[in-house]
Amino acid sequence: MPVFRIKEAAELLGVSDDTLRRWADAGRIVMTAGDSGWLTMDGEALAKLARELAEAGDQGTDRMVVAHSARNRFTGLVSRVVRDTVMAQVEIQAGPYRFVSLLSSEAVDELGLEPGMLVVAAVKATNVSIEIPQPR
């Protein structure tokens, strides 16, 4: 099972290292000391927390985004893999964004995809719809 150091986990969740330490002290998350002595978090637990934060709309920050260029690549964690004999559905939580990819079960096996793994979702779309959010 993949494990992530505090700094990596914090970046993936969009929070500070200190926030993760406070959450660990409060019992919200579990950190363990890795072989090197660094505090680490289990990848599957990190993916679950990322999904919960996204569903709650709580990324641990009140900062407004003023500019962003994703370049269609989103680093995140595999949060779920559902498969049958031919096809698989892989869910990725990348900060507040949830991606679902449909691919062959053979591809999932070759990539060794499982919950908690760090991945990059590369998005190529031929159709993009635009929405106007309601003003605050």
Could you write out the DSSP letters of every residue in 83-127?
E-SSEEEEEEEETTEEEEEEEEHHHHHHHT--TT-EEEEE---S-
Query: For position 72, what pLDDT does the model report?
Result: 78
Q: What integer is the mean pLDDT of 56-71? A: 56
Contact in structure between 8 and 23 (CB atoms under 8 Å): no
Separation between Cα atoms, residue 77 and residue 13, nearest integer Å: 10
Query: For position 82, what pLDDT does the model report?
Result: 97
44 pLDDT more than 80: yes
125 pLDDT more than 60: yes
Helix (H, G, I), strand (E, B) or coil at 80: strand
Query: Which band of pLDDT confidence, cut at 50, 70 and 90, is reported for residue 136?
Result: low
Task: Give this prediction's pTM.
Answer: 0.59
For residue range 70-122, list pLDDT tens digits in order.
567 788 899 999 999 999 999 999 888 899 999 999 999 999 999 999 998 88
Query: For position 51, what pLDDT does the model report?
Result: 85
Percent of the chain with pLDDT over 70: 84
Average pLDDT, the chain: 83
Separation between Cα atoms, residue 92 and residue 119, nearest integer Å: 8
Query: For position 128, what pLDDT does the model report?
Result: 66
